């Protein structure tokens, strides 16, 4: 049995198939944790979703900003953008089942692997949040996405405010901040004010900001945090964080971090090359 964490696929089903062949993935034996952005910009988002759906409990997926964008478009809360490649899902005869499956995926996951708690998110964790609090807040979003209030949220999702967490936040402001942190975060200040305009590497943090995982004393530091989203960051493998978006859709690689078994910590990065699709334009929400 092996566990694999996979970075942003973004509709690149051929690369995903190649990666799964390389690791000899078996859904009867192994488990995939996909760290969000399953769809969009690549050529075959429908094939990616159908493939992951077919694996049942062997594929546990997070929602990224592109996945939420697809759901927003499906709720007629947003128009598709010129560079989106979502029509293959929206116009498919099985569109409803694919969208329902996406809406029932996760905003964060945590597993105990090899003696370590591994917290998985698409983008980031605010410095005030513990791993347990992150899961709790993610659960608030998951409940809303599966409720009649989902459409209302999608109509209000596209905004950068509030930029700082407060436990007193309520309603759609609270949900929007949680979503922005989990699916868009790259840089923040030491006290957790988020910044969304900058999309370069870790060394290009705007003045007064830093990568979220470098905030001194962040409350999630007792867990290993694995994330995707940040293709300009590239591979990062530290004792406390693993970054797994290697820019497949932009001609980079699709990567899986293999964790041999739950009983020991032995991470191994496995990656396959991907053909370039187009020039990157950064995060969408």
* Mean pLDDT, the chain, integer: 94
> Binning pLDDT at 50, 70 and 90, where does residue 276 land?
low
- Contact partners, residue 155, CB within 8 Å, separation at least 6: 75, 77
Distance CA 72, CA 40 (A): 13
Give the homologous superfamily in CATH for domain 3-273. Answer: Metallo-dependent phosphatases (3.60.21.10)
CA atoms within 13 A on the CB side of 24: 4
Distance CA 204, CA 200 (A): 6
Question: Structure pTM?
Answer: 0.95
Termini Cα distance of the chain: 36
* Residue corresponding to tokens 């929602």: 63
- Contact partners, residue 31, CB within 8 Å, separation at least 6: 1, 2, 3, 4, 57, 58, 59, 60
Over residues 197-207, the mean pLDDT reads 94
**159-199: per-residue pLDDT in tens?**
999 999 999 999 999 999 999 999 999 999 999 999 999 99
């Amino acid at each position: 049995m092996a566990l694999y964490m996979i970075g942003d696929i973004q509709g690149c089903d051929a690369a995903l198939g190649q990666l799964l062949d390389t690791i000899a993935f078996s859904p009867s034996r192994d488990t995939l944790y996909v760290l969000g952005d399953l769809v969009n910009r690549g050529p075959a988002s429908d094939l990616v979703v159908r493939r992951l759906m077919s694996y049942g409990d062997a594929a546990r997926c997070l929602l990224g900003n592109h996945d939420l964008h697809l759901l927003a478009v499906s709720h007629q809360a947003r128009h598709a953008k010129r560079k989106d490649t979502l029509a293959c899902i929206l116009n498919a005869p099985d569109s409803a089942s694919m969208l329902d499956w996406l809406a029932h995926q996760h905003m964060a996951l945590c597993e105990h692997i090899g003696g370590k708690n591994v917290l998985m998110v698409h983008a980031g964790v605010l410095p005030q949040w513990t791993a347990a609090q992150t899961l709790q807040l993610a659960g608030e979003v998951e409940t809303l996405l599966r409720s009649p209030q989902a459409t209302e949220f999608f109509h209000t999702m596209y905004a950068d405010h509030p930029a700082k967490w407060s436990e007193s936040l309520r309603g759609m402001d609270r949900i929007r901040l949680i979503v922005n942190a989990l699916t868009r975060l790259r840089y923040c200040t030491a006290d957790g004010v988020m910044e969304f305009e900058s999309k370069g590497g870790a060394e290009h943090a705007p003045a007064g900001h830093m990568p979220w995982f470098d905030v001194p004393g962040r409350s999630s530091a007792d867990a290993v945090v694995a994330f995707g989203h940040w293709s300009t960051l590239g591979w990062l493998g530290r004792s406390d964080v693993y970054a797994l978006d290697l820019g497949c859709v932009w001609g980079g690689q699709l990567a899986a971090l293999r964790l041999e078994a739950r009983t020991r910590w032995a991470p191994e990065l496995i990656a396959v090359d991907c053909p370039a699709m187009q020039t990157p334009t950064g995060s969408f929400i």
